[in-house]
């Protein structure tokens, strides 16, 4: 019973996320096929979401679409997370100046989580959905977040992340500490071919925390484009980070442990 309840809860969220992607009314059969659900299960879930007020059902056309109640679930979140620190303005500034994929990520246990993203406008780009989790050990963004921790805590996280990762993705504590030391020295991270082959990322710690977790502003895209524009992109990122200021109790100056 508990397993069935978890599956139903997961599927209900997946339906709402599906609509975020398609942004069009969809019939039950289309939703079931797209998400791989049995039609009987999809019917029950959709009727439940209609009853709860999260979906509207157009009986004439037999299609579903989210209601404003879905928006109201999270319309307060950006203010709670980002406040008036100018974080979102900094994000937009970097995007406008580079056209690259830009985002804000935070630490979530042994993972980094992409909490706010803007996609690249360039033809060759990498798309990462907001909310995606990735082990801290497997990207330059994660290494930047790890740089806020003591070496002992990094050791613990690397070992735990290795347990949660495929064997081919496991790393040594020494290799991560070496990357972290370099980030602490330079004040930023430039990474290539991780987590995507052919990609590159520039990332810097923001001078604020999000829900008491360290946060990083980053931009990422095709490696060749980054190598050609490294100095300009870094200057843009540094200016944007410098513009962010703590402003309320949700955002506190970041503490770096050594």
CATH of the domain at 31: 1.10.10.10
Task: Say if residue 52 is in the same domain as residue 91.
Answer: no
Q: Are residues 99 and 49 in the same domain?
A: no
Which residue would you say has higher pLDDT here, 106 or 126? 106
In DSSP terms, 134 is beta-bridged to: 112
In a domain, 257, yes or no: no
Task: Report how many domains make up the chain.
Answer: 2
Report if residue 258 sits inside a domain.
no
What 112-115 contacts at long range (C-beta under 8 Å, 24+ apart), as own/partner pairs, is 112/136, 112/139, 112/141, 112/142, 112/145, 112/216, 115/81, 115/210
Per-residue pLDDT of 109-156, as tens digits, reads 999 999 999 999 998 888 888 889 999 999 999 999 999 999 999 999
pLDDT surpasses 80 at 169: yes
State the residue range of the domain holding 137.
77-242
Per-residue model confidence (pLDDT) at position 2: 52
Q: How far, in Å, are 122, 133, 136, 205 from residue 161 at the CA level?
A: 33, 12, 7, 21
Q: Is residue 250 part of a domain?
A: no
Q: How many CA atoms lie within 13 A of 186 on its CB side?
A: 15
Does residue 252 lie within any of the structural domains?
no
Regarding whether 117 and 66 lie in a shared domain, the answer is: no
107 and 166 part of one domain: yes
Same domain, 62 and 181: no
pTM, to two decimals: 0.75
pLDDT for 72: 84
114 with 200, same domain: the answer is yes
Domain check: are 100 and 64 in the same one? Answer: no
Per-residue pLDDT tens over the stretch 22-69: 999 999 999 999 999 999 999 999 999 999 999 999 989 999 999 989
Per-residue pLDDT tens over the stretch 187-246: 999 999 999 999 999 999 999 988 889 999 999 999 999 999 999 999 999 999 999 987
């Amino acid at each position: 019973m508990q397993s069935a309840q978890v599956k139903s809860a997961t599927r209900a969220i997946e339906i709402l996320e599906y609509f975020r992607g398609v942004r069009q009314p969809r019939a039950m059969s289309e939703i079931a096929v797209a998400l791989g659900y049995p039609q009987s299960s999809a019917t029950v879930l959709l009727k439940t979401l209609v009853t709860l007020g999260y979906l509207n059902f157009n009986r004439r056309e037999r299609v579903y679409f989210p209601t404003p109640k879905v928006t109201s679930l999270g319309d307060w979140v950006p203010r709670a997370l980002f406040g008036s620190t100018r974080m979102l303005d900094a994000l937009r500034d970097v995007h406008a100046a580079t056209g690259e994929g830009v985002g804000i990520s935070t630490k979530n246990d042994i993972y980094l989580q992409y909490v706010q993203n803007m996609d690249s406008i360039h033809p060759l780009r990498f798309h990462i959905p907001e909310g995606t989790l990735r082990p801290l050990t497997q990207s330059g963004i994660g290494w930047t977040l790890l740089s806020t921790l003591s070496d002992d805590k990094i050791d613990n996280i690397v070992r735990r992340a290795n347990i949660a990762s495929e064997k081919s993705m496991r790393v040594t504590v020494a290799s991560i500490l070496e990357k972290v030391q370099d980030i602490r020295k330079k004040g930023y991270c430039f990474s290539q071919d991780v987590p995507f082959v052919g990609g590159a990322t520039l990332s810097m710690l923001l001078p604020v925390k999000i829900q008491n977790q360290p946060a990083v502003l980053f931009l990422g895209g095709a490696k060749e484009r980054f190598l050609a524009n490294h100095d300009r992109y870094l200057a843009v990122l540094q200016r944007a980070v410098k513009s962010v200021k703590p402003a309320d109790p949700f955002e506190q100056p970041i503490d770096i442990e050594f």
